[in-house]
Amino acid sequence: MEKLGIDTEQQKLEYYLAVGQKDSAFAIISKPLHRNRVYSHSYTNVISELIRRGMFDYCGGVFKQWQSDVNKGQQRISYLDDKEKIAELTEKPDEARQIIQKKLNWFIKNYPDSDWRIRHSIDDFVGLAARWHYLEDAIKSAKSNKHSYWNDKLLEQLYTDGGDVISLAKLLISMDEKNDAIKFLYRAGEYDELAKICRNVDINSPDVSIDTKIACAVARWHTGKQESARRILNSLPEFGHGNPYLFAKISQKYLSFGELTNAEKFANLAVSSQKYPDARIEQILVKVKFAQGDTSSAIKILTEIPTREKIPEIWRIEQLFKIGKDKIALNLLRRRWEYNDKNNTYYYYGYGGSENDILIRFEKYDILVARLIRRAENSEDDWERNDLAIRAAEYALKISPERTVKIIERYFGENPQSNKAKILLGRALCEMKKFKRAIVILEGGGSNDMRKILAEAYYGIGDSASANDIIISFLERNRDENSFVDVLTILIDNEQYELASEIGSLALKLWKGSQKIWLKSGIAFIGAGAPENGWRLVKKSAFQHYEKNVSDNALDFWAKASEKNNPQNTLDWARTQYIDLNTPLHRKFDLRVLSLKILWNMGKKNDAIDEAKQITVIFPNERDGFTLLEKLYSDANETQKSDEITKAIFKKFNFQFDYAFDE
């Protein structure tokens, strides 16, 4: 090793891993455990490093040492979190489930009054069930358990994440939590079930909360008792003592019913009874005007800025952009800019975010770039001017690379000294296919980003040898997990599969526990003509659920790769695997997702959508299936159906959140 110039612990560790001397690598990683006094975090750090390096078989001994060193307290079971992670990474969700259940039971037994510990374990349990697509099975299991307070809380969370609000409501009522049951049924739009509960609610009682009265009124409206609903809503002000937020809530309900006269009446009451300005209340009246088709009145409200507003609030500008009144929206923006320029309050935030936020939200990058450039021109501070120019150049890339080039050259010259300017100029030139000039700009640059863009430029002119040299030299200085992922991505994108395969082999030796490395290396191996090993890694990436993004990307690659061969063969294989009794539940979910992706890529969009619908039927408690269906409708430009699924997802899975304003 001395001849190789290896003189640091990190270099030694990488050497041992690269040549397969795992015992020597373990000796370095586990050094913190050989001190006179070893703390809990030392065990955590060592195990975390072993997992990242893929040395799962060495973790067992560390777990045993940890258990023997700690005699009492919470640390006694801290190792279970790492055990659970290993079980997930090795595709053993049942084992992971047992580990979390053990942790949960231990806390309930030893810390029955430690609410936060137990709830955290419940969240872990439910999160695992959601990731591995067995929420329905977990619900059945929890329902069969002996009744207890904490089992009910577990079941409550499973129902919540699984979108079973009716079962949740029944459970809450059995736990004497009727108000929560009413609240959740109301938000989920389960009005028939809500109406049944409301029959036993004394609407006229002052002890019943206003929110409960509103919920019951809405339930009655949707179950054919509109007159009763009106009576309840119209009687609410006597309990609210002129509260503008109550008027606004009543207006919202009438607006949702389509009763615009009453909606306008209570919206006006809300606005007129305000003691302190609140943009949310004024927005109710704007929504009513739009619903009435009175766009001119809505715009008048939006543009008549009250004296209490120093500058027009962002929400006004947002509403105007939404209805396509860009010119009017810009006039309000200019009023803000004039005020900010005069008072140097560029970071003034109001209801709705900042000026930049709203322009980005509506993709008004040309306006944003022009604004930043103007501020740069007016700035007397060199650092601020350069910073504003860089930000403008970055946003300009969203419009055109040519604009970015002009901005950089104007403020930093044709060969800028600033690294940020070099990087942006290099990116823009590569997008413009001006690779030779990009090389001149970036050659000799020391930053990692510059070297990666420089490699892309060399690939662009067809000089793969020089690009590959840059990639190799980059890895000589950066051997962390993310650097390997970045390099493999660049090589794969440029079809440098042989080198990618070599680097992937090394990456797997150094970072064998990385799901991203599995996928990138697998793709590289397939491209380099080693399909057996490559597909093993791609499938391993697809069927693990610890890192969902990796699983999704693996399934995308799998579906696209099948197009090059015979996609029908992959479909037939997936269906055969699906009906196999030995195929675990999470794989069944993935196989159906793979099938719909293949069908979509084959142009069989309706078949893909039907497959997604089937997923929502077979896995009714899984949000992912509904999200997939929503995306397919959106990609098929079936906006109405996509919006319907969006609303269904909100009602089914987001009913625990209330996005309406509170008092």
Mean of pLDDT values over 150-171: 96
Tell me which of 1.25.40.10, 3.40.309.10, 1.20.120.1200, 3.30.465.10 is the CATH number of domain 381-478: 1.25.40.10
Predicted pLDDT of residue 349: 47
Phi, psi for 214 (deg, rounded to 5): -65, -45
Percent of the chain with pLDDT over 70: 96
- Predicted confidence band at 512 (pLDDT cuts at 50, 70, 90)? very high
Beta-carbon contacts of 345 under 8 Å, excluding residues fewer than 6 positions away, are 339
Beta-carbon contacts of 596 under 8 Å, excluding residues fewer than 6 positions away, are 608, 609, 611, 612, 615, 628, 632
**Residue 244 tokens, joined:** 């503008």
On average, the pLDDT of the chain sits at 93
Q: Which helix (H) or strand (E) holds 645?
A: helix 639-653
Predicted pLDDT of residue 102: 92
- Predicted confidence band at 74 (pLDDT cuts at 50, 70, 90)? very low
Q: DSSP 3-state assignment of 604?
A: coil
Q: Is residue 343 over pLDDT 90?
A: no
Predicted pLDDT of residue 663: 42
**pLDDT tens for each residue of 235-291:** 999 887 889 999 999 999 999 999 999 999 999 999 999 988 788 899 999 999 999
Predicted pLDDT of residue 73: 45
Predicted pLDDT of residue 619: 96
- What pTM was computed for the model? 0.90
Please identify which residue in the block is written with the tokens 């009794």: 581
Mean of pLDDT values over 385-390: 96
Q: DSSP 3-state assignment of 133?
A: coil
Q: Is residue 3 over pLDDT 80?
A: no
Kindly list the domain boundaries of the chain, sorted by start residue: 381-478
Q: Label each residue of 461-508 as H, E or C.
A: CCCHHHHHHHHHHHHHHCCCHHHHHHHHHHHHHCCCHHHHHHHHHHHH
**pLDDT tens for each residue of 401-433:** 999 999 999 999 999 999 999 999 999 999 999
Predicted pLDDT of residue 6: 53
**pLDDT tens for each residue of 561-591:** 998 889 999 999 999 999 999 999 999 999 9
**pLDDT tens for each residue of 9-51:** 999 999 999 999 999 999 999 999 998 888 888 999 999 999 9
Mean of pLDDT values over 617-629: 97
Mean of pLDDT values over 166-190: 96
Q: Which helix (H) or strand (E) holds 110?
A: helix 93-110
Q: Is 38 left (phi over 0), alpha (psi -120 to 50) or beta?
A: beta
CB 404 within 8 A of CB 430: no
Q: DSSP 3-state assignment of 350?
A: strand
